[in-house]
Amino acid sequence: GEESHDKEISINTPEECAKITTVLLKSRTGEFDLESIMFLKLRNLGIYDLGCIGDCINLERLDLSGNNITNLGPLSPLRRLLVLNLSANRISNLEPLSSCEGLLSLNVAGNVILSVDNLHALKSLKKLESIRLKDNTYNYTNPVCKNLSYRTLILENFPNMKVLDGERVVGRGSDLYQLCKDIDDTIKTGMYKNGQLPELPETKPWVDDGFWEIKRSNNAIVDEAYKQFSDVLHECRLLNSRAAHVISQNEQTISFKNQPKQYAV
C-alpha cells in the first residue's frame, strides 16, 4: 500500500512533468491522437522542455503559463494556433513564433523580454491583434516595460494591433489611424502623374478639372473612415456625459456636507 501511495505522489510532482511527452498530452486531454487536440492547458507544472508539443498540429488554444520555459522552438509547427498564453515563464527569444501565422493573441507577461527589438520576430504575423507584456492583476511584467515609450514603439511596429496589455488601442495603431493614412496616400497619389507633379504652364492659373478629386473607387475608404470617426466621436461624447454626471454628483455631495446642520425645534 505504502509503495503504490509513494508512486502516486511522485507522478503529481512538477518534476515528472518537466518535459511534455505523448503520455502527458494524452492523459491530460483524453485524446488518443495528438492531431485531434485543439485546446490544451498545462499551467504551473514546472515544464521547461516543450518536447513533442509540435505534434499537436491542429492546436488552436494553448496555455503554458507558470512554467520554466525558455526555448519556444517546438512551437514553430503550430500554424493553426490562435491564442497562446506564455505568461510567467523565462522567455526572452520569440523568434520561433514567427511561423505561427494564424496567431491572434499572445500573452508573454512575466518573462524576460528586454526590448521592443525582441518583438520584431512577430512582425510577419499579420493577424496578430493582441499582445500582453504586462499584467497588473498578477504583477507580471517584462524589462521592456521600464521603457516609458514601449507602448508607442509597439503600436508603430504593429499597425494592426487592437489590444495592448489588455487595453483597447485607440488613435495611432488603430483601424481609424490606418484608414486616415490610406486617405492621405490616396490624395497624394491623385496629385502625381507618372510619379511626379505635372508641369503646368505659368500662364494657366487653374489646374485641370478633377485634378484634386479622389478617385471614385476610393470612396469606400472615405465612407468607412467617416463612419469610424463618427463612432469615436460618439464614444467621446458618452464619456464626457458620464464624467459631467459624476462631477455634478460629487459637487452636490460636497455642498450638502458643507451646509450647516439644522435641528427641528
State which of 153, 170, 187 marks the end of a domain: 170
Q: What is the pLDDT of residue 208?
A: 60
Give the closest residue to 125 by CA, choosing from 177, 172, 85, 83. 83
Please state, as a whole number, how many other Cβ atoms lie within 10 Å of the Cβ of residue 235.
11
Judge whether 15 lies within some domain: yes
Structural domain harbouring 186:
176-257
- Residue 262 forms part of a structural domain: no
Query: Are residue 159 and residue 128 in the same domain, yes or no?
Result: yes
Asked whether the whole model's pTM tops 0.85, one would answer no
What pLDDT was estimated at residue 3? 42
Q: 152 φ, ψ to 5°?
A: -60, -45
Looking at the structure, do residues 14 and 131 belong to the same domain, yes or no?
yes
Query: Which of 170, 201, 225 is the C-terminal boundary of a domain?
Result: 170
Q: Is residue 78 part of a domain?
A: yes
> Quick one: 91 and 122 in the same domain?
yes
Q: Is residue 263 situated within a structural domain? A: no
Residue whose cell numbers read 512582425: 123
Statement to judge: residues 238 and 180 lie in one domain: yes
Q: Are residues 86 and 140 in the same domain?
A: yes
Predicted local distance difference test score (pLDDT) of residue 247: 86
The pLDDT assigned to 223 comes to 66
Alpha helix (H) residue ranges in 77-174 = 150-157
- For residue 212, the model assigns a pLDDT of 54
Is residue 46 situated within a structural domain? Answer: yes
Q: Is 190 found in the same domain as 143?
A: no
State how beta strands 163-164 and 167-168 pair. antiparallel
55, 183: one domain: no
Q: How many CB atoms lie within 10 A of CB 3?
A: 7
Q: Does 265 reside within a domain?
A: no
Residues 180 and 223 in one domain: yes
Residue 52, pLDDT score = 96
Domain harbouring 139, CATH code: 3.80.10.10
Strand order from edge to edge, sheet including 130-132? 39-41, 61-63, 83-85, 105-107, 130-132, 163-164, 167-168
- Residues 60 and 106 occupy one common structural domain: yes
Do residues 71 and 129 both lie within one domain?
yes
Q: Does 108 fall in a domain?
A: yes
- If asked whether residues 96 and 78 sit together in one domain, one would say yes
Domain boundary among 170, 199, 215: 170
**264 in any annotated domain:** no
Residues 127 and 34 in one domain: yes
List per-residue pLDDT tens for the chain, 265 residues long: 444 333 333 334 444 579 999 999 999 999 999 999 999 999 999 999 999 999 999 999 999 999 999 999 999 999 999 999 999 999 999 999 999 999 999 999 999 999 999 999 999 999 999 999 999 989 999 999 999 889 989 988 898 899 999 988 865 545 555 666 666 666 666 655 555 655 555 555 555 665 555 454 455 556 666 667 777 777 788 788 888 888 888 888 887 766 665 555 5
Please give the tally of structural domains in the chain: 2
